[in-house]
Amino acid sequence: MKKCSKCGKELPETKEYFTTSNSCKGGISGTCKNCTSEYNKQYRKNNPDKVTELVKRWHKNNPDKLAKNFKRWQKTHPDKTSEISRLWRIENPEYGKKYRDDHKDKAIEYQSRWRISNKEKFAELVSKWQKNNKEKRKTYSERYRTKKLKLPATLTQNQWESITHDFGYSCAYCGKEKPLVQEHFIALSKGGEYTHNNIIPACKNCNSSKGAKDFLEWFRGFKHYDKKREENILNYLNYDKNGYQQLALL
């Protein structure tokens, strides 16, 4: 038995009850573990800056031990490790993007494997994204349709937002402020590109009415025809008054 120099309790003289010390006889110090723990707790509370500096110095001088301890902690705390990684990725998105850019094949393989293993969760995420990103969804859908026909498809979401802004967030054909769709000035079926030179905002009614018709033939007989809107559309897309695009100006 051994008496603790702090609390005075008599405890078995083993490493289970007393802290270890290379400078003490038998490698066991005279302070029990409870007293040592309490002392360390108070010291950390009263000297936070010193403790931080000591920890940083130890990390710097013991990188191998630090890595080994961290790996052991990760294995015993998988949930906390996952949560820490998730939060870090949210706070540092540029690192994730850089890794994906530098390891495209690995990133694609991982994403494919994750989707297969988490079908329900993936379907839920897709549904949520589609609900919250209706405009982007339309852009991606139109881009896909255009590429299938081997036509240029370069319109971006920022360009579409700029186009709607330039037309006052209203239909280019009737001038009314209604829910807008991306209208192909030259129809996709007639080789119309999905680019900022061929897309204007239109309401669903006007979009449906025009269809694949020639703009000038259709618009000049349209019930909402307006000379100024015709000129505005042609000028915006760099067409002359006869409907020929000024390619040299693009």
**What pLDDT sits at residue 247?**
45
Please give the single-letter amino acid code of residue 193.
Answer: E
The distance from CA 54 to its chain's CA centroid, rounded to whole angstroms, is: 37
CA–CA distance, 150 with 101 (Å, rounded to integer)? 26
Cα angle, residue 47 at apex, residues 42 and 50 outer, rounded to 5°: 135
> Is the CB of residue 139 less than 8 Å from the CB of residue 160?
yes
**What pLDDT sits at residue 61?**
93
Give DSSP secondary structure letters for 59-99. Answer: HHH-HHHHHHHHHHHHHH-HHHHHHHHHHHHHH-HHHHHHH
117: tokens are 């293993």
237-250 per-position pLDDT tens digit: 988 766 666 543 33
CA–CA distance, 186 with 192 (Å, rounded to integer)? 5
**What pLDDT sits at residue 249?**
36
Nearest to 185 by CA among 167, 115, 30: 167
Question: Where is pLDDT greater, at 150 or 229?
Answer: 229
**What pLDDT sits at residue 242?**
64
Helices (H) and strands (E) counted in the chain, each on its own, are 12, 6
12: tokens are 């078995």
**What pLDDT sits at residue 25?**
75
| pTM exceeds 0.75 | no
Sequence-separated (6 or more) residues with CB below 8 Å from residue 195:
152, 153, 154, 155
Look over the chain and give the mean of its residue pLDDT values, rounded to a whole number.
88
> Is the CB of residue 18 less than 8 Å from the CB of residue 32?
yes
Sequence-separated (6 or more) residues with CB below 8 Å from residue 230:
216, 219, 220
17-75 per-position pLDDT tens digit: 888 888 887 788 888 999 999 988 999 999 999 999 999 999 999 999 999 998 999 99
**What pLDDT sits at residue 29?**
86
